[in-house]
Chain A
Amino acid sequence: MPVALLVIGEVADGHLTKLSAEIATLAARLASEAGGEALGLVLDAAPDAPAAEMAAHLPRVVSVASGPAADEVWAPHAAAEAQRLVGEGATHVLVGVTNDGRDVAGLLCGALGWGVLANAAGAAWEDGRLVVDALVLAGKAITRSTVDAPNAIVTVGPGAAEATALAAPGTVETRAPAGETPVPAAVVLERVAEAGAAVSLEEARVVVVGGRGVGGPEGFGLVDELASLLGGVTGASRAAVDAGWIPYARQVGQTGKVVRPLLYLGLGVSGAMQHRAGMQGSQHIIAVNRDPDAPIAEISDLFVIGDLFEVGPALAAELRARRAG
């Protein structure tokens, strides 16, 4: 049976997410290497724009306009579409490592009994089997795993491929919803946005992170200021989130967001394993810490030893001065 890789796209603010575009590129590459097919799925109340965006990366995209996607949880509906496409021959299902993506992966695993290759940071064919790399044990090791079966569900983290457009965009096929979901979909009564949540951490070019060292909610004023001067977004360590200084949506790390920005700037972050798991893929890492032995030094390009309440304002002044000059 020829392989057919199905990518389940995710939509945020009307657009295909960066992660979904990366996974689509990965799938297109894997399909051409195996002489098989790659296709995408977009299920949304308004799927046209994101489906067209996905078709830039994949030869074929199935677009489903679904009313319930707006007022019920998304995953059961996406899983129902995926099951239909599996019925039509999809051999591998790829989703992002997001709350929605993992829900779909879990629902499909329960429904289909397929093996799961979780948290892929990269994927390749070896002896006709899909082998994925994943960072495990809070970043202590990278395992290479496979499924000895013609089918698998793969959850893919950020950075597994760089989103690249095809020479010619693929086709978009519009369909009516598949119908029955594998589990009853819970109703969404309300969507609540918390302050400062408008920009996505995962897509930011610069992420400035405040840790326990910022000392309290006020300390994030400085973090926000530097983030805005650098055209970036504010993140936080778990210690700051658990202390209630900033919402969970800002958490970077193993149990928060995995970020891979051009620049990570950490203020008062020690660099625990579980935090690194969410940021060590950043291109440039700068940390400000008054403890010369803080473990984040091991992965920093610049390790600034000093008090963040002195270095932070000095940096803000320097950035302003250079901008003006």
Chain B
Amino acid sequence: MAPPPIAASGYVPFMQPLPVWDYWYLLALPLCAGVAIVYKAIRCRWMKSVPREAAKMAAWIVVGLVGAAAGLWLLVKAFEWAGS
């Protein structure tokens, strides 16, 4: 007898992609935090200041991403208006 298709046999971590199709943009947040933590752990002279500095940097990365997204959205809308 043939085994059930992978999709029907339930989610298996690492063997199947995480079912987060509708929330993919939220996955940018842990990535921003990770980048900020490693960068500040390398740059800061005192490790005690890393949590505060990393939190500030992660917030700025998120603000930059949101700003870039908003800018690109406006650009696309502007091209749509110009084309219509």
> Are A and B bound to each other?
no
Binding site for A on B (CB under 8 A): none
